[in-house]
Amino acid sequence: MRVGFDCEDSLMLQWNKMPAVKNYEVAALDNNQFVPLAFGPDSALVLDKATLKGNTLALQPYFDGGKPAIRSYSVDYTTQLAGCFLRTFTALPQPPDGIALHATLGTTYGVEQVTFERFDGVNYSAIGTTPTTQTTVGLVDASPREGLNLHRVRLTLSNGGTVVSDEVANLYLRELPYLVFPNPVASDEPLGIVVRDAGASDTRVELYNRDGSLVFSQYLLSGEEYVTLHNVTPGLYLFAISTGTGIHRGKLVVR
């Protein structure tokens, strides 16, 4: 038995049908005894959570003629991480193709369609919609924004409701060779550095003051990293990002 969805007011349970089994009983553990909640031939059940006295549930199959089979292992539905229809949502950069979006549902029951959305700077806009025929859905956002991208997924339910995921942030570079942010930056604030061609060899960021003296140097372990400018006093600096394919230069203001 598995949890299809775990919403604020309702809970869905699912299980695989078994050979020669005619009916199934779902029971809840109450005062060390299993109390029947529902009985019938279906392989799914939606429960009103207000009627539940506990979190532990079990499934009892019954053969034709009424003989019971072995009861299943009990399940604490609150530990199954099922979510309210939506189990997981991920957004992973895959340059140069775009950002791969992937959603996993606990069940297709009650879900009419899945819509992937991207923030356009003002609102979230749909970039792809698909009817729900399976519990895993995905697409590639082939036109992400240069720099910061925010994505989310929206489930449209058959009862007219919606379920919206948390937003997922990614930094994506297709045209720009690098991105340094925020600028200006406080000396105790993480400085984000994204380098498109990082990984060819050692990548290093350096800061020089107006006199040309090196005041900060650090190797980057990946193409997207955050550094803290310890002991760098406020002022205007020149930065140099060295990669295996060249050096990127610019100005940085430290507040």
The DSSP code sequence of 45-112 is: EEEEGGG-S-SEEEEEEEETTS-B-PPPPPEEGGGS---SSEEEEEEEEETTTEEEEEEEES-STTEE
Per-residue pLDDT of 179-231, as tens digits, reads: 999 999 998 899 999 998 776 568 899 999 999 999 999 999 888 899 999 88
Mean model confidence pLDDT for the chain? 93
Indicate whether 168 and 186 sit together in one domain. Answer: no
* Residue where a domain stops, chosen among 125, 146, 172: 172
DSSP string of 218-248, one letter each residue: EEESSSEEEEE-TTPPSEEEEEEEEETTEEE
Cα–Cα distance for residue pair 124/58, rounded to 1 Å? 41
Percent of the chain with pLDDT strictly greater than 70: 98
Indicate whether 93 and 135 sit together in one domain. Answer: yes
CATH of the domain at 65: 2.60.40.10
Please tell me the predicted confidence (pLDDT) of residue 223. Answer: 84
Please tell me the predicted confidence (pLDDT) of residue 157. Answer: 96
* Residue where a domain stops, chosen among 34, 61, 79: 79
Which residue type is seen at 198? A
Q: How many alpha carbons lie under 13 Å from residue 24 in its C-beta half-sphere?
A: 18
Please tell me the predicted confidence (pLDDT) of residue 202. Answer: 80
* Residue where a domain stops, chosen among 61, 79, 97: 79
Indicate whether 165 and 92 sit together in one domain. Answer: yes
Indicate whether 168 and 187 sit together in one domain. Answer: no
Single out the residue of 85, 89, 152, 150 nearest to residue 121, CA to CA.
150
Which residue type is seen at 39? F
Residues facing residue 246 across a β-bridge:
243
Single out the residue of 74, 31, 84 nearest to residue 53, CA to CA.
31
Indicate whether 73 and 92 sit together in one domain. Answer: no
Please tell me the predicted confidence (pLDDT) of residue 50. Answer: 92
CB 181 within 8 A of CB 226: no
Please tell me the predicted confidence (pLDDT) of residue 175. Answer: 85
Indicate whether 160 and 210 sit together in one domain. Answer: no
Cα–Cα distance for residue pair 144/171, rounded to 1 Å? 10
pTM: 0.78
DSSP 185: B
Indicate whether 114 and 167 sit together in one domain. Answer: yes
Indicate whether 184 and 241 sit together in one domain. Answer: yes
Contacts of 209 (CB under 8 A, 6+ apart): 215, 235, 237
| Residue-number span of the structural domain to which 121 is assigned | 86-172
Please tell me the predicted confidence (pLDDT) of residue 109. Answer: 93
Please tell me the predicted confidence (pLDDT) of residue 222. Answer: 85
Indicate whether 168 and 96 sit together in one domain. Answer: yes
Work out how many domains the chain is built from and give that number.
Answer: 3
For the chain, which residues score pLDDT lower than 70? 199-201
Indicate whether 51 and 103 sit together in one domain. Answer: no
Phi, psi of 79, rounded to the nearest 5 degrees: -100, 5
Indicate whether 99 and 57 sit together in one domain. Answer: no
CATH of the domain at 226: 2.60.40.3080
Cα–Cα distance for residue pair 247/85, rounded to 1 Å? 48
Please tell me the predicted confidence (pLDDT) of residue 230. Answer: 84
Indicate whether 154 and 210 sit together in one domain. Answer: no
